[in-house]
């Protein structure tokens, strides 16, 4: 592994992180970090991570496990006893697919790795609008996190950047198409690994975004619910 990089991109394998990685690759020499945390679709997401890195030419990769989040539970993504809901109420309440304080765990690992690699930027594809309303996707959270990095690292010269945070999902699709982001290799579905379910929050938001962008989602779906 080539141990130098100008930036780190958190790459889950979903469409937003794929566009974010494409931006990072356009603008620098990123390393990619993937974290499995016992989520239902972790094998499929890990496969997407590797294939997206291959396509974007990202050589420096780290795929690690977080054991805490599944052990703690409290989310439909990590607890088989909590069903992944069909998307009926996007934007009303924080849904059961929220994984408690997950992005802080991810960012902490990214900051640790950035210190070792000497990387100065951490890209994360958090989106506030058109999202499920997760509190760790708000701009204020990332501003505060950057203060934590400043106070708690050796040199302090590391910044979390959120280039997609203010974008609509359809704009993210359009940007991805401009950048030739490998949407065909991504995985967004919360509940299935063979074909996307088409009815979970993540599938519905994704399908709506492609529809609004006038583009065709290259992934195979079990069902496409016309609620766009």
Q: Which residues bind Zn ion (CB under 5 A)?
A: 189, 197, 200, 203
Cα separation, 174 vs 181, in Å, equals 10
Tell me whether residue 109 or residue 224 sits nearer to Zn ion (CB atom). Answer: 224
Q: What angle do CA 106, 52, 69 make, to 5 degrees?
A: 25
SS percent in the chain: helix, strand, coil, step 5: 40, 10, 50
Joined tokens for residue 46: 């890990």
Collapsed DSSP state (helix, strand, coil) of residue 87: coil
Least spacing, CB of residue 148 vs Zn ion, in Å: 33
Least spacing, CB of residue 224 vs Zn ion, in Å: 11
Tell me whether residue 7 or residue 191 sits nearer to Zn ion (CB atom). Answer: 191
Least spacing, CB of residue 187 vs Zn ion, in Å: 10
DSSP code, position 129: T
Least spacing, CB of residue 150 vs Zn ion, in Å: 38
CA distances from 78 to 97, 112, 208 (A): 9, 24, 25
Tell me whether residue 44 or residue 70 sits nearer to Zn ion (CB atom). Answer: 44
Tell me whether residue 114 or residue 200 sits nearer to Zn ion (CB atom). Answer: 200
Residue labelled with tokens 């408690």: 100
Tell me whether residue 57 or residue 220 sits nearer to Zn ion (CB atom). Answer: 220
Joined tokens for residue 123: 């890209």
Least spacing, CB of residue 195 vs Zn ion, in Å: 9
């Amino acid at each position: 592994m080539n141990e130098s990089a100008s930036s780190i991109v958190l790459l889950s394998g979903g469409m937003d992180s794929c566009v974010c990685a494409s931006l990072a690759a356009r603008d620098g020499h990123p390393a990619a970090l993937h974290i499995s945390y016992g989520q239902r679709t972790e094998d499929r997401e890990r496969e997407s991570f590797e294939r997206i890195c291959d396509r974007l030419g990202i050589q420096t990769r780290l795929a690690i496990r977080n054991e805490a989040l599944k052990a703690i539970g409290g989310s439909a993504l990590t607890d088989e006893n909590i069903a992944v809901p069909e998307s009926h109420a996007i934007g009303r309440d924080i849904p059961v697919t929220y994984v408690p304080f997950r992005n802080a765990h991810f960012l902490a690992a990214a900051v640790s790795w950035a210190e070792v690699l000497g990387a100065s930027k951490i890209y994360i594809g958090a989106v506030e609008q058109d999202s499920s309303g997760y509190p760790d996707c708000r701009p204020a959270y990332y501003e505060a996190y950057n203060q934590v990095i400043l106070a708690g690292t050796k040199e302090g010269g590391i910044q979390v950047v959120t280039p997609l945070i203010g974008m609509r999902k359809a704009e993210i699709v359009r940007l991805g198409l401009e950048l030739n982001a490998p949407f065909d290799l991504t995985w967004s579905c919360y509940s299935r690994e063979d074909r996307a379910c088409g009815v979970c929050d993540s599938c519905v938001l994704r399908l709506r975004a492609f529809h609004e962008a006038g583009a065709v989602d290259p992934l195979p779906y079990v069902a496409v619910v016309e609620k766009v």
